[in-house]
Amino acid sequence: MNPHDVVLYPLLTEKSMDCVDKNNEIVFIVSIKANKNQIQQAVEKLYAVEVQSVNTSIDRKGRKRAYVKLTKGFQAIDIMTKMGVI
């Protein structure tokens, strides 16, 4: 899959911004068909970071959320700034 087909957009809620500050995690809305390995590879390729772990969940609207935790060498706040979100 194309990385842009896997990672659709970052989720911008209070809870997801707390994840950025406290856990060094970025929350993305991803393709419902994507698995954790595909999500990890797509994020690493799109944003030039190293991913420590990926957790996923399906919300009430039927969207798949990916909680992507970055390694200590990378800061989630810096990636969000580069995306123009913050």
Q: How many domains does the chain have?
A: 1
Full DSSP string of 2-46? -HHHHEEEE--SHHHHHHHHHH-EEEEEE-TT--HHHHHHHHHHH
Its domain, for residue 29, covers 3-83
Half-sphere exposure of 59 (CA within 13 A, CB side): 12
What's the pLDDT tens digit per position in 14-72?
999 999 999 999 999 999 999 999 999 999 999 999 999 999 999 999 999 999 999 99
Question: Is the overall model pTM greater than 0.85, yes or no?
Answer: yes
CB atoms within 10 A of CB 77: 14
Q: The CATH number of the domain where 61 resides is what?
A: 3.30.70.330
